[in-house]
Amino acid sequence: MKIKKNGDSVRVPHKGKMIKGKVVRYDKGDPGGTPYYVVMVPGEAASIKVPIHKIQENTDIIDKINECLESFDEEDLICEVRYKKVIRKGKIIRKPICPDGFKFAGGKCVKMKNTEKIKRSRSTKKAQRKVQNSGAKAKLIRKRAKSMRKRKALIPNALTFTKVKVAKGKETKAEK
């Protein structure tokens, strides 16, 4: 590690945060002790002693990264929407599907905020507990079975297809 010169800007830990400061001088420390820098921190009357291993280099790169992260908009974090065919009230509709951590808003998938993710996970856990503890589980299974029957009726299997035959003036369905 290269020794810093007087006036070099560095990031140092101070009061639980990484603060930008300027090197005042380098000290080799006591024999057997760790060498340190004396760093001037803005807002402090006295300079602080910081061991060499706690100083962060490349402050310019870190500043640029932080600047880029601050300038990010939610619009940059938009994802493509996929649609799935589902049955609602006996009709086939297209349901938008977004990846994990995204929600469908304004015709596109938008990244959810952390608070919303936490609220959703809590509410789903609460709903699961209610379903497990009450008699709603059997009701849920019946409704799912009914939905699956309707789905099979509305969306026929790709392997079997039906033809309508006319026999003696009456229409009958025959599978092939």
Q: Domain residue spans in the chain?
A: 9-71, 78-141
pLDDT score, position 149: 83
- Among 87, 110, 111, 107, which Cα is nearest to 96's? 107
Range from 49-53, 66-70, 127-131 carrying the lowest mean pLDDT: 66-70
What is the rounded distance in angstroms from the CA atom of residue 117 to the CA atom of residue 35? 45
171: confidence class by pLDDT, cuts 50, 70, 90: very low
160: confidence class by pLDDT, cuts 50, 70, 90: very low
Residue 146 has pLDDT above 80, yes or no: yes
Residue 119 has pLDDT above 90, yes or no: yes
175: confidence class by pLDDT, cuts 50, 70, 90: very low
pLDDT score, position 57: 64
Residue 143 has pLDDT above 80, yes or no: yes
What is the rounded distance in angstroms from the CA atom of residue 66 to the CA atom of residue 9? 16
Both structure tokens of 107: 């015709």
The answer to pTM > 0.85 is no
pLDDT score, position 9: 80
The matching CATH number, chosen from 2.30.30, 1.10.3470, 1.20.120, 1.10.3210, for 9-71 is 2.30.30
Average of per-residue pLDDT across 144-155: 79
State how far the alpha carbon of 19 is from the alpha carbons of 48, 98, 124, 170, in Å.
12, 39, 40, 87
Range from 43-47, 74-78, 89-93 carrying the lowest mean pLDDT: 74-78
pLDDT tens digits, 49-60? 888 777 776 556
pLDDT tens digits, 15-48? 878 888 888 888 887 787 888 888 888 888 888 8
pLDDT score, position 118: 92
H/E stretch holding 144: helix 136-154
With 0-12 / 13-18 / 19 or more C-beta atoms within 10 angstroms meaning exposed / middle / buried, residue 109 is: buried
